[in-house]
Amino acid sequence: MARTSPSERRAVVATRRRRPTLGVEAIVEVALRLVDTEGVEAVTMRRVAAEFDTGPASLYAYFPHKEALLSAVLTRVLEEIPVPRGDDWQDLLRRHMHTTRDVFARHRDVARLSFGTVPTGEHFVDIAEALLAGLLAGGVPAQVAAWAMDVGALYVAADAFEGYLQGQMFDDGSGRPPEEVGMEFYAGFADAMRALPPSRYPAITGHVDELVSGDGDDRFGFGVDMFIAGIAAQIPR
């Protein structure tokens, strides 16, 4: 019996602190680190457990299934979103959407986890209150404000997820810088459009530059502004 017994190992840990102690928060932190470095699909019960020098079964004392662990990772990330502030409702909304997107972008493809979940928890309620209050104070009708929060959240998450995937598309291939590959891809895309028959595709062939212009940030900023304009159009005067 060369292997140390569990109790011996635990004793060693207590004194030399060779590995982190198991626990809900520690597990979430390890999983989040995996997300940050390799993406959501790299989160594996085995890999997370390996960080604690143990097997996957140990994690099931803290989470009923993997989904619960990933959901905990998401709430942990959403906690990084500050309660929004702003001069007027437009400023408030714009800043909140941009910072939320930034938080998602900091953690690779976590945004994918937000689909199909109804976020709860105190911090999220605080954010919702600040947004709703700001919109109402700006004269936005309550029904418009309520649904706009919904639509806006969906748009931000979708854009963050899409942006990550687009970025991945351009660095899976070789070791070259992703933005260089991206530029090349869009140049080829533009050429393909220009090669279309103008008689059948007058609109596309006539506006290739506009169709391929702007990076992800530009397009997101445009979408946010358009979203705000859509709300503003529904303020009675």
Catalog residues that contact DNA under the rule CB under 7 A. 5-7, 9, 21-22, 43-47, 52-58, 60-62, 65-67
Contact partners, residue 216, CB within 8 Å, separation at least 6: 159, 163, 166, 167
Give the shortest CB-116-to-a second copy separation in angstroms: 3
How many whole angstroms separate alpha carbon 237 and alpha carbon 232? 10
Binding segment (CB under 8 A) for a second copy, from list 7-15, 28-36, 83-91, 140-148: 140-148
Give the shortest CB-86-to-a second copy separation in angstroms: 15
* Run of H or E residues at 108: none
Tell me the CA distances in angstroms from 35 to 20, 76, 89, 153, one per residue in order: 18, 12, 34, 21
- Is residue 227 a contact point for a second copy (CB under 8 A)? yes
Write out 141-177 in H/E/C secondary structure.
Answer: CHHHHHHHHHHHHHHHHHHHHHHHHHHHHCCCCCCCC
- What is the pattern of x (binds a second copy, CB under 8 A) and - over residues 192-221? ----x---xxxxx--x--xx-xx---xx--
**Contact between residue 99 and residue 83 where contact means Cβ atoms under 8 Å apart:** no
Minimum CB distance to a second copy smaller for 24 or for 204:
204
* Run of H or E residues at 86: none
Residue 219's binding partner, choosing from a second copy, DNA, none, with beta-carbon cut-off 5 to 8 A by kind?
Answer: a second copy
Give the shortest CB-54-to-a second copy separation in angstroms: 28
Name the residue with tokens 């060779």: 18
Q: Which of 205, 166, 161 is nearest to 185 (CA)?
A: 166
Minimum CB distance to a second copy smaller for 18 or for 65:
65
Give the shortest CB-212-to-a second copy separation in angstroms: 8
CA–centroid distance for 10 within its chain: 37
The residue length of the chain stands at 237
User: Binding a second copy by CB under 8 A: which of 12, 50, 142, 183?
Assistant: 142
- What is the pattern of x (binds a second copy, CB under 8 A) and - over residues 147-186? xx-xx--xx-xxx-xx-xxx-xx-----------------
Minimum CB distance to a second copy smaller for 50 or for 232:
232
**Contact between residue 186 and residue 213 where contact means Cβ atoms under 8 Å apart:** no
Interacting residues toward a second copy by CB under 8 A: 115-116, 118, 125, 128-129, 132-133, 136, 142-148, 150-151, 154-155, 157-159, 161-162, 164-166, 168-169, 189, 196, 200-204, 207, 210-211, 213-214, 218-219, 222-223, 225-234
